[in-house]
Amino acid sequence: MKVFRYDERVGKKVEHFGSREMRITPVIKMLDKQVSVFQTGCVYLGPGGRIGGHEAAVPQLFLVVNGEGWVSAADEDRRLVTTGQAVYWAPGEWHEVTTEQGLTAIIMESDQLEPSGFLVEI
């Protein structure tokens, strides 16, 4: 057995796109012939944190595992998301995340990601 850390203390600070109070710890990244991109990371947004607005390069799934925050896309009003909820952004879709109290989320990116077949939309 091996035990690993993925908490914010081992995460890399991110400031791209005007992000603030953000750290991410890569969990897995695969490149192969069948799936050109698959990566997962654990992101931590501290109080007042923000993932600055940007376009999704590939399909992205943002799974909130602790806390709450606001998510938005270019053509939609922002929505509150909390622990146990997930947000999907399509390739090229502009999006951002903000939080007042802080949140922790798992981010999955894959060109073959389509959560509507197994997650319940709200």
| pLDDT per residue as tens digits for the range 105-115 | 999 988 888 88
The pLDDT of residue 71 is above 60 = yes
The pLDDT of residue 6 is above 60 = yes
What phi and psi, each to the nearest 5 degrees, are found at residue 16? -60, 150
| 105 falls within a domain | yes
The pLDDT of residue 5 is above 80 = no
| 70 falls within a domain | no
| 21 falls within a domain | yes
Identity of the residue numbered 121 = E
Instruction: Identify which has the larger pLDDT, 120 or 101.
Output: 101
The pLDDT of residue 79 is above 80 = yes
| 56 falls within a domain | yes
List residues bridging with 95 in a β-sheet: 54, 73
| 100 falls within a domain | yes
User: Where do we find the tokens 């081992």?
Assistant: 10
- Give the residue numbers spanning the domain of 43: 1-61+93-112
What is d(CA 30, CA 73) in angstroms, rounded to the nearest whole number? 27
What total number of domains does the chain contain?
Answer: 1
**Predicted model pTM:** 0.83
Q: Is 5 helix (H, G, I), strand (E, B) or coil?
A: coil
